[in-house]
């Protein structure tokens, strides 16, 4: 298959319905790292054709603005998948978002569909949002077409038969599994939505936990969430300064012949230094 374009940093990935062109046109002004024109859940079954037409009309202008533009198509098991791949994509996209991915066979179908329609260079941002998808995330995200992933809590809990809570305890294992699988596959992972777009405190709290779990960004369903995500997934000035000081203290210790040093009341050795270097690398992205 053709070489896939590398995915940009995606601290924030903003979704908008394909049937709302007036909202799509405003997406670049939000400051989102990436935007998604949604042909799946946000587009009713009787409006799929109109949604695809809107992609063709609006997406080129969004791409020209410099923002990374994705299209979320309907799942491979849906009756709309083939038409989405044939008529719902345009040149210059950063990738295609595929929901509810849980098998290698599904990704093979996407790969074949893209190639058959002259788009073999498009990578997949895979939605891991089913029980099987979470259980098999490591093998699924290792597929060559996957360039990024997201965890979808709402669909996952619906599939599981569980109950969503503010504490997020019910999705902690699944979030961790997706973050770990993404790391092993070498692709960035984005965290679940916050459905109450008015609750900034919850968004900040969830984003902080997501970052601690290894996620590199968060899905956004409202423009007001974009700035919160962009801030949450970049180390603060205080974090950067502390990391620099920790590394300096450790390197001074190594120069004196010791591999563990005291820093701010804790013992610092190789693993803590690696964490500090990772933080500085994230700040430089």
Distance of CA 73 to the CA centre of its chain: 16
Q: Which CATH number goes with the domain that contains 227? A: 3.20.20.60
Q: At residue 6, does pLDDT exceed 90? A: no
Query: Which neighbouring-strand residues pair with 98?
Result: 126
Q: How far apart are CA 103 and CA 123, in angstroms?
A: 16
Is 4 within the bounds of a domain? no
pLDDT score at 23: 96
Is 68 within the bounds of a domain? yes
Is 155 within the bounds of a domain? yes
Is 122 within the bounds of a domain? yes
pLDDT score at 2: 58
Instruction: Compute the average pLDDT of residues 137-158.
Output: 98
Residue linked to tokens 């596959």 = 185
Q: How far apart are CA 94 and CA 72, in angstroms?
A: 11
pLDDT score at 1: 53
pLDDT score at 55: 98
Looking at the structure, do residues 204 and 241 belong to the same domain, yes or no? no
Is 105 within the bounds of a domain? yes
Establish how many alpha carbons lie within 13 A of residue 19's alpha carbon, considering only the half-sphere containing its beta carbon. 12
The values of phi and psi at residue 67, to 5°, are -80, 150
Q: How far apart are CA 190 and CA 220, in angstroms?
A: 10
For residue 242, the enclosing domain spans 237-284
pLDDT in tens, 200-250: 999 999 999 999 999 999 999 999 999 999 999 998 899 999 999 999 999
Is 127 within the bounds of a domain? yes
CA-only gyration radius of the chain, Å: 20
Looking at the structure, do residues 150 and 256 belong to the same domain, yes or no? no
Is 1 within the bounds of a domain? no
pLDDT score at 283: 82
Looking at the structure, do residues 100 and 184 belong to the same domain, yes or no? yes
Q: What is the mean pLDDT of the chain?
A: 95
The values of phi and psi at residue 149, to 5°, are -150, 160
Q: At residue 139, does pLDDT exceed 80? A: yes
Looking at the structure, do residues 105 and 35 belong to the same domain, yes or no? yes
Q: How far apart are CA 31 and CA 67, in angstroms?
A: 9
Looking at the structure, do residues 155 and 262 belong to the same domain, yes or no? no
Q: How far apart are CA 76 and CA 56, in angstroms?
A: 21
The last residue of a domain, from among 198, 216, 232: 232
Looking at the structure, do residues 223 and 129 belong to the same domain, yes or no? yes
Share of the chain above pLDDT 70, in %: 99
> How many domains in the chain?
2
Residue of 234, 213, 70, 88 whose CA lies nearest to 153: 213
DSSP label at residue 46: G
Q: How far apart are CA 80 and CA 66, in angstroms?
A: 29
Structure tokens at 38: 């949604």
Looking at the structure, do residues 126 and 263 belong to the same domain, yes or no? no
Looking at the structure, do residues 22 and 125 belong to the same domain, yes or no? yes
Looking at the structure, do residues 148 and 274 belong to the same domain, yes or no? no
pLDDT score at 258: 85
The three-class DSSP label of residue 72 is strand
Helix axes 270-284, 237-255, angle to 10 degrees: 140
pLDDT score at 4: 79
Is 114 within the bounds of a domain? yes
Looking at the structure, do residues 211 and 243 belong to the same domain, yes or no? no
pLDDT in tens, 52-65: 999 999 999 999 99
**Count of C-beta atoms within a 10 Å radius of residue 191:** 29
Give the helix, strand, coil percentages of the chain, each rounded to 5. 50, 15, 35
């Amino acid at each position: 298959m053709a070489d896939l374009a590398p995915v940009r940093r995606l601290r924030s990935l903003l979704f908008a319905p394909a049937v709302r062109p007036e909202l799509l046109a405003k997406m670049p002004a939000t400051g989102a790292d990436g935007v998604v024109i949604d042909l799946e859940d946000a587009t009713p079954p009787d409006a799929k054709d109109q949604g695809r037409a809107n992609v063709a009309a609006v997406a080129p202008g969004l791409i020209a603005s410099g923002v990374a533009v994705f299209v979320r198509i309907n799942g491979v098991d849906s009756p709309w998948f083939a038409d989405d791949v044939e008529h719902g994509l345009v040149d210059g996209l950063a990738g295609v978002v595929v929901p509810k991915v849980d098998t290698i066979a599904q990704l093979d179908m996407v790969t074949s569909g893209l190639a058959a329609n002259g788009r073999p260079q498009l990578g997949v941002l895979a939605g891991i949002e089913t029980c099987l998808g979470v259980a098999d995330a490591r093998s699924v995200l290792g597929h060559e077409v996957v360039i990024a992933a997201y965890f979808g809590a709402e669909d996952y809990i619906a599939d599981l038969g569980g109950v969503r809570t503010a504490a997020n305890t019910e999705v902690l294992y699944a979030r961790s599994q997706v973050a770990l699988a993404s790391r092993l596959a070498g692709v960035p992972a984005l965290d679940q939505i916050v459905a109450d777009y008015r609750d900034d405190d919850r968004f900040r709290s969830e984003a902080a936990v997501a970052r601690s779990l290894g996620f590199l960004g968060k899905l956004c369903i409202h423009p007001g969430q974009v700035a919160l995500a962009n801030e949450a997934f970049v180390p603060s000035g205080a974090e950067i300064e502390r990391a620099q000081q920790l590394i300096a203290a450790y390197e001074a210790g190594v120069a004196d012949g010791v591999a563990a040093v005291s820093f701010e009341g804790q013992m610092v050795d190789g693993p803590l230094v690696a964490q500090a270097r990772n933080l500085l690398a994230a700040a430089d992205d």
